Structure 1
Amino acid sequence: MSYFIKKILALIFLLIITPATPAYTEQLIISHSSNMPPLSFINEEGEPDGILVDLWKEWSKQSKMNIVFDLRNWNDALGSTLKGETHINGGMYYSEKRAKKWKYGDYLFTMKGALFAADKLGGEQKIDMQESICGVIKGGYAKNFMEEHYPYTPLMLFESSDKMFETAAAGRINLFVTDYPVAIYQLHKFGIENSFTCIKTLYERQLYPAASKAAPDIIELVNKGIAEIPAARKNIIMSKWLDAETENIWQPKTITTLAAIALIAIIFAYRPETNRLIDFLKSKQK
């Protein structure tokens, strides 16, 4: 067989095995989770919402290119980009394992991942990581992290963030690992913010857009738009979601304490008047 024919056959083979990625000259199809608030989720109006959705809308404005969101459960979202059904994943952590299949774009922002435990367990010192079942999202970075750093901890895998927090609210898991903003949002959503506590930050990593290595040229286009997003605008988007969540978790656990401290301070400040009031009340009881 001639060298030329071998080359033609090799080219045909590559065309067959390479997933067909939809053209992105007119619009970019962005995949991510439909159930990972406040990063990305479907809101009550049935529309894509969250930090990443707002960032990509800003990207669209700066790059003057239309975008479409394709939000699914996390594992399916990853598969949709690798199979060529969508152009890019809206934001994920880097790992060496993922880098074998993914090409990463420029940094979006940094997030922490943390271990949360039910308060009834009595704190970190009383938790046996080899005996306690820990919840993680299927296909998520937390799963990879736990398998590498806590290989003896039994994991319970969930298809979505909602499923994991429903299980936690029902008392069927007492430990879970997820991104800190996601945990704060979901704990409040399910009304269990006073039942679980963040006991340890496990990782702090940067979030990147990522495309399949079968379509690496998309990353250049994406990076150009990311660079054009004004820093002030990016800060506004981040503050809209993350500052609100910080405020929400702060209020329920601290307002009562601060009120008590304020009351004690008033009593001490007006001790003579307080003592006279007590003496007066005692005299009335005689």
Structure 2
Amino acid sequence: MYLIKKSALLIAVVFTLLYSSCAAALPKQLIVTGSSTWEPFSFINSEGEPDGIMVDFWKLYGEKNHVEIKFQLMNWPASIALASTDTTVIHGGLGYTSNRAKYLYFSRELPLQKYDVYLFAKRELNDTALSHLSDLKVGSVTASVKDEFLTTRLPSESIRRYDTFGGLNEAAYRGDIDVFIDDLNTTLYGLYKNDRQGTFTPRKKLYSFSIHFAVSRQNARQMPAIEKGLENITDKEVDALYHKWFDDIPGLEESAVQGSKLKWPLISVSILFIAVVSIIPMVLRRKSQDLKNALKALATSSAKLEQVTQLDRLTGTLNRDAFYNVLNEKRFSPSPYSIAVLDLDNLGQLNAECGHQVGDIAIKHLISQLRGQLSSKAVIARLGGGEFAILFDYCDRNLAIKRIDKLRRSLPSIPLSLNQQVLPLSFCYSFAHYPEDGDEGSALVNTALKRMRQHKAERVNNLSAGIDGHRHLDTELPW
């Protein structure tokens, strides 16, 4: 019997190793899709051939890993649809969004430059605040990250959508649109190449996003092997790709010349400044010291003001608005994260029976335990009363749930001792996860709050019925 079990175990191990090696084998051919008009990232050139930074990157990948690379470039929505349905095709470069993650499996960040997305507007326009864009003609590319960004901020009818990046650019050059958002470098490249310098100018940086490749969710098993091949590409080789495309942009040389013409006036001013300093060194040093002291005092005052406006006065954690600001910066995060919301049990009763001062002490005791047991990277905020939110960044949902549940279980063993009385504390909690539950910070907090309050109500009912109210949350709520 023992030999049979041992043989079965050995067969299972061998099968697993063989399966893993097959799953991890790099394919001999990759079909890469992407935009046919996203110049200079990926496009069809005048000779009818695939071209651009992404094309060069995957050609380099093929050379480094001895893989045949073929390209199928098309309009942007079609390229995403192809990669999501055809298991033989990968999308060569795009940004992560929770909507795309429903049908695409994303790689880790590619060693390509992040896209710094700016708002571009006609030179003659003055007011280009996001809140006023609904009065203007705003252009966007269908199914792009930028389109998702605009959709959350503008009425859909205010946005004119185009199936290709080239179509968007042509609409801008014709004057059909007043405003669009796109990557700074690629837009400037297009303006230079099409001799449209100055027609549209960058006004404000909106956000950044990294570039990933993606496969259909049915083809996720192939992802590790393809990712492994990225390790054979060096940063120096990637830098050379960008130099090839951006170093010879017409107009940059003129900027360099203009910069050199400014050197002599700057040198003259520097010489004059040195002469003045040599004549009145004592006065200048005294004024300089006064200025440094004033700047230091101003910086201290600014830091204190920022703390007052961002921190909760009782606990020293972030307040609600500051926490939402943190989440806003993660609007298009390429990495998943979790938000826990917890509520201190019986705080209202404690305030009523012992006074609000005791309730405040209980809140600070809870925060002390949170800080002691959670990672320093966890961002804690007080939402109000006894409700708190915690951001677990770069942390998968299962690990985040385990950390909070461990804290909940250990809290009764560290009771609050006050006036020779022991006050055992407990809390109720729930989660919302990005991107499964959405990609907007305040909405994720509201989802977690709703789940937590629902669970708390169920727990009260269970306790009234004599049922244990502290069952595992992951068996109660449909996460």
Q: TM-score, normalised by structure 2?
A: 0.47
1:163 pairs, out of 146, 164, 167, with 167
CA 1:207–1:265 in 2, change beyond 3 Å: closer, same or farther?
A: closer
Q: CA deviation at 1:253?
A: 6.0
Instruction: Say which one has the larger Rg.
Output: 2
* Amino acid corresponding to residue 47 of structure 1 in structure 2: E
Corresponding residue of 1:10? none
Code of the aligned partner of 1:232: K
Equivalent residue number for residue 191 of structure 2 = 187
AA of the residue aligned to 1:161 = F
SS of 1:203's equivalent in the other structure is strand
SS in structure 2 of the partner of residue 215 of structure 1: helix
Alignment correspondent of 1:43: 45
3-state SS, counterpart of residue 225 of structure 1: helix
Per mean C-alpha deviation after superposition, the further-off stretch among 78-87 and 92-101 is: 78-87
Q: Which residue of structure 2 aligns with residue 4 of structure 1?
A: none
Matches within 5 A, 1:18-167: 25-84=27-86, 86-108=88-110, 109=112, 110-122=114-126, 124=128, 128-151=132-155, 154-167=158-171
The verdict on how the C-alpha distance between 1:152 and 1:214 changes in structure 2, with shifts beyond 3 A counting, is: closer
- Give the match for residue 178 of structure 1: 182
Partner of 1:209: 213
2: CA distance between counterparts of 1:264 and 1:35?
44
Distance 1:141 1:25, change over 3 A: same
The residue type equivalent to 2:100 in the other structure is: R
Residue 250 (structure 1) shift:
3.9
Tell me the CA shift for residue 162 of structure 1.
Answer: 1.6
Task: Give 1:251 deviation, angstroms.
Answer: 4.4
Query: Is the 1:74–1:160 Cα contact (8 Å) retained in structure 2?
Result: yes
Aligned partners of 2:259, 2:178: CA distance in 1, in Å?
A: 26
Structure 1 CA distance for aligned equivalents of residues 129 and 109 of structure 2: 36
Correspondence for 1:19: none
Q: Distance in 1 between matches of 2:259 and 2:64?
A: 46
Shift in Å at residue 262 of structure 1?
7.0
Aligned to 1:241: 245
Please tell me the residue identity of whatever aligns with 1:78.
I
Paired with 2:260 and 2:170, the residues of 1 have a C-alpha distance of: 31
Q: Matches of 2:214 and 2:180 in 1, distance apart?
A: 26
On the 8 A contact 2:77/2:143 being kept in 1, the answer is yes
Q: Percent identity?
A: 27
2:236 matched to which residue of 1?
Answer: 232
Instruction: Decide whether aligned partners of structure 1 residues 155 and 67 sit closer, same or farther in structure 2, where only a CA change above 3 A counts.
Output: same
3-state SS, counterpart of residue 67 of structure 1: strand
Amino acid in the other structure paired with 2:138 = C
Displacement, 1:243? 4.3
Residue 228 of structure 1, CA deviation: 1.5
Q: Secondary structure at the match of 2:149?
A: helix
SS of corresponding position for 1:121: coil
Cα deviation per residue 1:121-176 (whole Å; 9 max; x = unaligned)?
13646993120121111111100011124457811101112211111111121111
- Cα distance in 1 between the residues matched to 2:130 and 2:30: 49
TM-score (norm: length of structure 1): 0.76
> Contact 1:115–1:199 (CA<8 Å) still a contact in 2?
yes
Query: What count of residue pairs does the alignment treat as equivalent?
Result: 242
Q: Secondary structure at the match of 1:192?
A: coil
Cα deviation, residue 182, structure 1:
2.4
Return the alpha-carbon distance in structure 1 between the equivalents of residues 104 and 164 of structure 2.
22
Query: Which structure 2 segments of 5+ residues have no match?
Result: 1-25, 270-479
CA distance in 2: counterparts of 1:199 and 1:98, whole angstroms: 28
Give the root-mean-square deviation of aligned CA atoms.
Answer: 2.8
The aligned runs of 1:249-260 (5 Å cut-off) are 250-251=252-253, 255=257, 259=261
Q: 163-172 vs 47-56, which deviates more?
A: 163-172
Higher relative contact order (CA 8 A, sep 6+): 1
User: Is the Cα–Cα contact under 8 Å of residues 121 and 127 in structure 1 kept in the other structure?
Assistant: no
The Cα shift of 1:223 comes to 0.1
